[in-house]
Structure 1
Amino acid sequence: MISIAISSQKGGVGKTTLSINLAHAFARAGYNTLLVDADPQGSVGLSLTRQSRLLSGFYDFLADPGIPMDRLVVPTRLETFSLVAAGQASDYEAGNGSSGSHLARVRAFLRNVAARRFDVCLIDTAAGLFGVTNDIIASADALIIPQQAEPLGIRSVPKLLEGLNRLRIINPRLNVLGVCLTMLQQNLAESTEAANALRQLLPAEMLFNTPILRDEVYVRASAKGLPVGILEEGKGAEIIFDSLRAEIQAKLKKSRQNSSFQSH
């Protein structure tokens, strides 16, 4: 199993939209996929099911790791796509403990997920590199960083990269897959200029080629509790996430090949 954290330095960057639709793309491609809502706001759950606040979830496991996974994993209408909600203990657990205080239980959670033979586990985290989010990144195999194509958002990237360097000390195997541009408005000069600034700021291999456009179809999909590709008008957006999934798989394959070469 590959575990991929989706995290950002600040909120409002389209992280949950990316998490939901990327997980759906992996599931549609035949991979047994689990989407974990580790944001205390429960944004993933609220986007997919209005009953998510009634479900036991990720933060309940952190409070009591004896909870069986059968009580946490929620199937969806797509056989290869399952969900773990934030849970009823999210408000308490997220606000308690410094970075590292939940590390052992986060890793136990991921071991339990892997034992259920999932291929991919995507984790939507709370914004910021501290607390539980820090522990998730310190436990995951890989990381994707969504970044909105807006001038103010670009300024937070250097601080995020500094934080990642510190996390690599805790998790040397962390594979930073790259930064994904979100909310790009191709007809707005300020948005395209921000995107170009980010391309100049980062090494080419650190930026995904596939941007996520700002589109009201995501709002409509969330209102219906669906991934965007389920909507007839969302087919174009679905293609974008298929392209992003292919990029991720290529990066993971290249990383495995480099690791195999270095080990010899």
Structure 2
Amino acid sequence: MISIAVSSQKGGVGKTTASINMAHAFARAGLRTLLVDADPQGSVGLSLTRQSRMLSGFYDYLADPGIPLERLLVPTRLETFTLVAAGQASDYEVGGAPTGAHLARVRGFMRAVEARGFDIVLIDTPAGLFGLTADIIASSDSVLIPQQAEPLGIRSVPKMLEGLNRLRVIHPRLLVLGVLMTMVQADMTESRESVMALRQLLPEDLVLRTMIPRDGLFVKASARGLPIGVLEEGAGALAVFDALRAEIEAKFERAGHPSLRRDGSA
């Protein structure tokens, strides 16, 4: 199983949108995909199922690891795409806990997911690199960093990478997939310059080629509880996330991780 923590230094960068649509892209490619809502705000669940606040989920597992994983799994219309909501205990007190406080339970959850036969799991984490988010990253194979293409947002990226370097002390094999530019507005000078500035600031392999545009369709898809690619007018966005999936798979292969195959094994 391949695991990807989707993390950011701060909120509002399109992390949940990226997580939902990446998971949908992997599932469409035939991989048994699990999307975990580990953000206490429950944004993934609220985007995809209006009953998410009533479901047991990830935080309930943290509070009680004896909960069977099957009780947490929420099927979708796509057979290969499954969700785990944030859960009833999403107000579970984790923010002030030091790194490592929840590590054993997060790793237990990941082992249970792998035993269930999933090929890939994506975890939408709380913003920041402390407490639970650090434990999730330390339990994952890789981390992806969405970042909006705006001048103020770019300034937080070096701090994010410094934090990831510290986490590599406890997880030396962590694969940093790179920064994913989101909310890109090609017709706006400031947005284009933000992308260019980040590409100049970071090594080439740390900024993904694929970029996610700012598009009102994302809002429309969320309102209907669907990934954007399911919408009749979502073909363009579907192609963007298919390209992102292919780019991520190539990074895993170059790093020597097991390749993701379409025969249902990873």
What TM-score bracket applies, with the shorter chain setting the length?
Answer: over 0.9
Letter matched to residue 148 of structure 1: Q
Aligned residue type for 2:241: F
Residue in 2 that maps onto 1:135: 135
Q: How does 1:170-189 map to 2 (within 5 A)?
A: 170-189=170-189
Residue aligning to 1:261: none
CA distance in 2, matches of 1:74, 1:218: 22
Q: Which amino acid aligns with 1:149?
A: A
- The answer to whether the 8 Å contact 1:8/1:145 transfers is yes
Aligned residue for 2:264?
Answer: none
- Displacement after TM superposition at 1:90 (Å): 1.1
* Distance of 1:94 and 1:166 partners within structure 2: 20
Instruction: State the 1:96 CA deviation.
Output: 5.4
Amino acid at match of 1:158: P
Contact 1:229 1:238 in 2 (8 A): yes
Q: CA separation of 1:19/1:257 partners in 2, compared to 1, >3 Å: closer, same or farther?
A: closer
Partner SS, residue 159 of structure 1? helix
Report what 1:151 is aligned to: 151
CA positional deviation for 1:153? 0.3
Structure with a larger share of its residues in helix: 1
1:183-215 CA distance string (max 9 Å, x none): 000000000000000000110011110000000
Cα distance, 1:32 vs. partner?
A: 0.2
CA contact (8 A) 2:63 2:92 kept: no
Give per-residue Cα distances to partners, 1:136-173, cap 9 Å, x unaligned.
00110011000100000000011001100100001111
Unpaired runs of 5+ in structure 2? 259-266
2:72 aligned with 1:80: no
Give the secondary structure class of the aligned counterpart of 2:47. Answer: helix
Give the C-alpha shift of residue 94 in structure 1.
Answer: 3.1
- Provide the C-alpha distance between the structure 2 equivalents of 1:150 and 1:257, rounded to a whole number of angstroms: 33
Alignment partner of 1:5: what SS?
Answer: strand
Question: 1:208-252 CA deviation, whole Å, 9 max, x = no partner?
Answer: 100000000000000000000110111110100000000000000
Contact 1:38 / 1:124 at 8 angstroms: preserved in 2?
yes
Secondary structure class of the residue paired with 2:87? coil
Secondary structure of the corresponding residue to residue 90 of structure 1: coil
Structure 1 residue 11 corresponds to structure 2 residue 11: yes
1:20 and 1:227 in contact (8 A); partners too: yes
Does the 8 Å contact 2:37/2:125 carry over to 1? yes
Alignment-derived partner of residue 119 in structure 2 = 119
In the alignment, is residue 219 of structure 1 matched against residue 204 of structure 2?
no
What is aligned with 1:242?
A: 242
User: Does the aligned pair in 1 maintain the 2:7–2:124 contact within 8 Å?
Assistant: yes
Q: CA deviation at 1:97?
A: 2.4
Contact 1:27 1:80 in 2 (8 A): yes
Task: Give, in angstroms, the shift of residue 99 of structure 1.
Answer: 1.7
Once superposed, which parts of structure 1, at least 4 consecutive aligned residues long, lie more than 4 Å away? none
CA RMSD of aligned residues (A): 1.1
8 Å CA contact 1:63–1:93 kept in 2: the answer is: no
- Equivalent AA in structure 2 for residue 74 of structure 1: V
Distance across 2 between alignment mates of 1:210 and 1:30? 21
Pairwise CA distance, 1:93: 3.4
TM-score, normalised to structure 2, is 0.95
Q: Give the distance between the partners of 1:193 and 1:150, measured in 2 at CA.
A: 8
CA distance in 1, matches of 2:63, 2:106: 11
Change in Cα spacing, 1:127 to 1:257, as seen in structure 2 (3 Å) is closer
Residue 78 of structure 1 aligns to a residue whose secondary structure is: coil
Asked whether the 8 Å contact 2:103–2:139 carries over to 1, the reply is yes
Matched, 1:103 2:103: yes
Percent identity at matched positions? Answer: 71
Query: How many aligned positions are there?
Result: 258
Q: Which secondary structure does the structure 1 equivalent of 2:234 belong to?
A: helix
Local SS of the residue matching 1:46:
helix
Give the SS at the match of 2:256: helix
Letter in 1 for 2:248: I
Q: Supply the distance in 1 between the matched residues of 2:257 and 2:137 (Cα, whole angstroms).
A: 22
C-alpha distance in 2 between matches for 1:175 and 1:236: 29
